[in-house]
Structure 1
Amino acid sequence: MSNPRPSAQARALYDFLWSLYGRKTLTGQQELGVARAGPRVELDYLARVTGRQPAILGLDYMDPRDNAAVNARATAWHRSGGIVTLCWHWGAPDVGTGYENSKKDFDLPAALKPGTPQNRALHRDLDAIADLLTVLRDRRVPVLWRPLHEFSGDWFWWGKHGPAAFKALWALMYDAFTRRRGLDNLIWVLGWAGQNVDPAWYPGRERVDVAGADIYVEDHGALEPMFRAVKAIVGDSVPICLHENGPIPDPALLGPQADWLWFMTWHTRWLMDPGQNDPARLEAYYGSGRYVTKDELLAAGLPKPG
């Protein structure tokens, strides 16, 4: 792992991910959020349609009303034998929280200079999220941490100022969380925007544990060109994931040209609209031999939570 002193739980999870990579693909599902939709909307739908649950549950530090519930959901999911991934739709620090504010501009070059108002706002937000992740660390919950996602697009503020500023921000967060705050439960997941998988944005193996990309296409293809583009940058140094998707790739199409370690279907309509994932196909895919669901994790070698 990039962190030379990971927690025992993070190390065990990372070893498990490597043991699957190239052979199996973990199923993943993002939840909308408790404050807006109530818990288990997506999971209840999957249970009704497939009779199964995803191996990975995706959660989001986006709405402050949700954050305590997010930690409770993450803890319960881990203790029940599942895997947790967390993202952060980080609202522009001098504007406010929320998805729409994550798309507003923020003077990142100024924020990277110590002592500026933007720098103080940046560190205030980092400390708030580190506090939340500390709760999970102390509960011994390992987290697939995928911050600053889709950075090579131009819609979130962390991607609006080019690769050099982004890489400086990634390094700042990594060092603050890993070294200053001792968050040894994090597995760092880097996610390109699939329209622009460019090596200029890569922060380096020393701060990345898993690499990935996403693109919301309207078919169930394996997205081989995007997989190859990521692998051309990271090679075999880290496993590669499909860190967000609409339609789930056909498991029969996966293999050496598209060995996604996991997929993460986005919430609400991306899962439940038949035009994205019709129920018959969803049931068949979740029952495939390539895809690992939550009930199969222990048999696949994931250690019991402890």
Structure 2
Amino acid sequence: MRHVAAWGALWAGLLAGALLPTPVAADVADPTTSHARQGTAVKTSVSLRLAPPVITFDPVDSSSDPTGLVATIAPVRKDAKLTFQEYVGSVWTTIRTARTDATGRFFVPLTVTSTATRTFRVVHPQHGRFRSSASTATKLYVRTTSQCSPVTPLVDASPTGEAFCLATRLDRWRAVGLMGVGQQLNVSSQSFLDPIRPLGAAAIRTSLIGFDLEELAMARDYEFPFADQVVAGLLELAHGGAVLTASWHARNPFTGGPFTDTRRGDLSSLLNESTPAGAAFWADFDDKMSLLRRFQEGDAEGDGGGVGTRRTAVVFRPLHEANGGFFWWGKPNPAVYRQLWTLMQARAAAAGVHNILWAYSFNLDTSSTTEPRALLPHKVDVGGLDSYDPEYGAANAADAFRIEGYKPVAQGGVPRMAITEAGPHGSRDGTWNPAVISRTIRSTGITPLWTMLWFDDGKPTSVNDPSGYKQLTSLTGGRSWLSSCFNALCYLR
């Protein structure tokens, strides 16, 4: 389970106020009322939502999923006074007063110390010609780890408690229309935290953190390794409330080259460990399972030990974008690809790695890719779309986000869906606003659990080079979009 201590400290700094002031009696009237301007009275309304309204609390270490109150006033206006209240005993008591932002909203993070159900409301006192109003009461439901219950059973028949609760958490997001905002990290670099803690700029908090297992192995195998530092950092982020997702850009088992080396033999040879390519692939897979086991055991030091309260589940998406021709595993025979997935799932379980949610992610369906549903494995916990917007010249100047392929896969029996990669390709200046993602999602009616932004990966060296600015803190609209999604969760409806 994740502590909210780090999360709360960050939000406290960002919002410049105490999380839970000492309760005092609520004051509905604004002292400026006596100086009200003359004019027609304006009816106002305020609403209150929780992001999210149902969370898990771990009694072992008194940690919980992050949550908070999102208040909205209508008509929208900045600097409207709001009084947040909690029903304690038989009295509404004030826990925070605040002023709305330019969108007419304000967020109050909550500290959770027990499984008690709590009731909240928000009050807008009369101010000038704006009438007073109060929201309906909203409840926060707190469940224990023993009450985790995913809507759909996981692929792994014996999942860890952390995996079970992670799936439950994601299902709760989906039930209320919440979408997490994620940031991928380059863990082959000692500056791997730069995308969320940029030098000389304010840190950000996202609800998901992505990394790659091949990059983590690189950090371990350098002459001066730092993988332990990376694992410790990722476990700390997870303990602070972030969901971890891991891709695997596997090395080419046919040539020994990198994942971008598209030369290969018959992919069916990987189904047989006695072949040279099969032996290489499965040795690599076993190595990556040993890395995932460290998260299962909370083993930051890599010494086989671990801390129980740091044990973490991971969404694992191996051999992604197989419907494209970008990597050595691209455009495989569908039957072979699905068999390979079945073998990977069985081998992970046999190795005792049970902290995985299995995610099949595919590239945007275009004229140059194969139909992604044809490659859908027999069993997955999550399906994910990778969709990038080319920024290769004036013709691509308008920000765009496309979802072709998403709905067919979602309709193929996949229990949960996500946007596993998104953002610009080939951006030279970072002029791209991720708000186009949530606008498109709302207009198309899809309900992904999260959207993951990649990290900056250099500057383009040619017209069609996909390198460029990609991370939230480098995109011109990145911070504003994230700040519009309180608790790094966007309400889609």
TM-score range normalised by the length of the shorter chain = 0.7 to 0.9
The equivalent position to 1:110 in structure 2, one of 250, 253, 269, is: 269
Describe the SS at the equivalent of 2:249. Answer: coil
Shift of 1:105: 2.4
Quote how far apart the aligned CAs of 1:261 are: 1.1
- The amino acid that maps onto 1:271 is K
Corresponding residue for residue 172 of structure 1: 343
Residue aligning to 1:254: 441
Q: Equivalent residue for 2:260?
A: 100
Across the aligned residues of Structure 1 and Structure 2, the Cα RMSD in angstroms comes to 2.8
Could you tell me which amino acid in structure 1 is paired with residue 206 of structure 2?
A: P
Runs of 4+ in structure 1 deviating by more than 6 angstroms, as ranges, are none
Which residue does the alignment assign to 2:415?
238
What pairs up with 1:223-234 in 2 under 5 angstroms? 223-234=402-413
* CA displacement, residues 210-241 of structure 1 (integer Å, 9 cap, x when unaligned): 1011121245545344432322323xx41110
Name which of 346, 355, 363 aligns with 1:193. 363
Moved more, 51-60 or 225-234: 225-234
Counterpart check, 1:58 vs 2:210: yes
Give runs of aligned pairs for residues 10-49 of structure 1, distance below 5 A: 10-21=163-174, 23-35=177-189, 38-45=191-198, 48=201
Q: 2:259–2:327: 8 Å Cα contact kept in structure 1?
A: no
Task: Find the counterpart in structure 2 of residue 304 from structure 1.
Answer: none
Q: Within 5 Å, give how 1:61-140 maps onto structure 2.
A: 61-63=213-215, 64-67=217-220, 68-69=227-228, 70-96=230-256, 98-101=258-261, 103-139=262-298, 140=311
Query: Shift of the alpha carbon at 1:93?
Result: 2.0
User: Displacement of 1:252 after TM fit?
Assistant: 3.8
Report which of the two structures shows the higher radius of gyration computed on alpha carbons: 2
Residues 134-190 of structure 1: CA deviation (Å, up to 9, x unaligned): 111111111011111101112222224321221111111111002x11211101111
Aligned pair count reads 284
After superposition, the C-alpha distances for 1:97-128 in whole angstroms (9 at most, x for unaligned) are: 64434x44254222212422222112211111
Instruction: In structure 2, list runs of 5 or more residues that go unmatched.
Output: 1-153, 221-226, 299-310, 391-397, 425-433, 457-467
Q: How big is each residue's C-alpha offset from its partner over 1:243-300, in whole Å with a ceiling of 9 and x where there is no partner?
A: 11114344244336222211111111342599x831xx222211224x642xx79xx9
Could you say which structure has the higher strand fraction?
2
Cα contact 1:28–1:55 (8 A) shared by 2:
yes
The code of the aligned residue for 2:386 comes to D
Please tell me the residue identity of whatever aligns with 1:142.
A
Give SS of 1:27's match. strand
The percent of aligned pairs where both chains have the same amino acid is 24
More helix by share: 1
Secondary structure of 2:452's counterpart equals: strand
Q: TM-score, length-normalised on structure 2?
A: 0.53
> What SS class does the counterpart of residue 329 from structure 2 fall into?
helix
Contact 1:56/1:85 (<8 A) preserved: yes
- Residues 221, 240 of structure 1: CA spacing in aligned structure 2 closer, same or farther, 3 A cutoff? farther
Report deviation, 1:76: 2.1
**Structure 1 residue 287 corresponds to structure 2 residue 483:** yes
Q: More displaced, 3-12 or 88-97?
A: 88-97
Which residue of 183, 204, 218 maps to 2:353?
Answer: 183
Q: Secondary structure at the match of 1:42?
A: coil
| 109-118 vs 165-174, greater mean Cα deviation | 109-118
Cα 1:61–1:91, aligned 2, differ >3 Å: closer, same or farther?
A: same
Equivalent-residue separation in structure 2 for 1:76 and 1:97 (angstroms) = 33
